[in-house]
Structure 1
């Protein structure tokens, strides 16, 4: 079951509202990828809030999510590397227990700087409601062999807290077919999360049938992956036009959104058959662009 809600997540993260949409249980996992307060031109969000106001707002969001999370449930909170201190403080103040600070290393770009090292990663804080995770699957991947290694790994390697094998969807050539585009070729959203990122998060911290939450759903990547993995999901998005895009994306099931080809990469995970749905919806339709209906 996939539920897409349009509105302010602080208002919609309410048990009575969720029950109206047949969400009768608490969430096993939340992926939190909020606006970064960088002055971007969002239609329904002020991305230039005073810093104190911005972090108070995210503290309220994390507190609401905590209330709606199963004991042992997880949150993956993504943000800029320079704000790691604030992210960890917000999680601590709202009751979460930090498990890992994941480094998602960017593969195709680095932000240059004149007086400090260039920036080539984002952080993802993995935390749980309680001391231990309710679910944590130790994933093994067929990671590319580094030059200093002489022999192939027979059984792959465990995923660590440095993720350098997932490509971001940068602008231009490197974004590939996965990036959602308007008929004229322009990007729908330059902050679109990659399928591979959400696949790893959901595989590691959920089971079949679990409920997943994305309070800042954006282009709906979390929901697209959850549907294919046999998880239930709620996505909240404040921009009505992006909600239309999410619903279109879920309905059209583009080949570029398929997780099928990524299964081989995780084939060394011992319990893969039990956490990867065998009843995956078909994502084999022809490649489609966002229709003119959404040309803004």
Structure 2
């Protein structure tokens, strides 16, 4: 395992899970936005030169999918320029880079899980900025590892699971989109996978990681309600209605199908394939026993 690791986006969902699951013997530099603005090339270069990490895990990103339609420059500054800055700094200092990307690089027209080398065609500015970030990383550091993921949630911060729990506690019924299909990903499992990848010094190129299985947002919401009711996070089962995405218009289009093929990742990392529902159950139990915000 590399001894010194710089984690960008350390205050986010994935960043916090990376810190919690950090292997023994690793010295970690937890770079929040206040410590490091990855869009600032000089700041990135100075920090990497000073600290000389053996590995950078880039968990920093602009992830406001709808706002990205009107904040294109900000999205590009973080997702494209920031990624490029990290790749350049890694190349100059002979550091490895693991860069986290997204299922939104695909247009959702496939009927089978997307392989890492499948053609990309993002539907919105967020996806376009993340794809351009991938390309900038490869151009600046061909040996980088890019890990795409999807539908990430955790006990930390804001996400679909916590939003659903709040709405379910407030309302007797709610409607959830049923014609967008993907795979939820507990940030804890993603963090574990990234640490396994970090331990393989020759691993590079494009890989995919989510939990196992497939569902719609509606299926996900029903599972959240059932699991939360089972452990006492909810006091009653709300009525959840499936609706088409057209009934819930958003500024940014979403891929209708964004299931990622993880077979190559599971094979190379030699890790257990955990179903998204069992991962959800584990996260909800942790949430009940903790006081995360």
Fold match by TM threshold 0.5 = no
TM-score (norm 1): 0.34
TM-score (norm 2): 0.34
Greater share of helix residues, 1 or 2?
Answer: 2
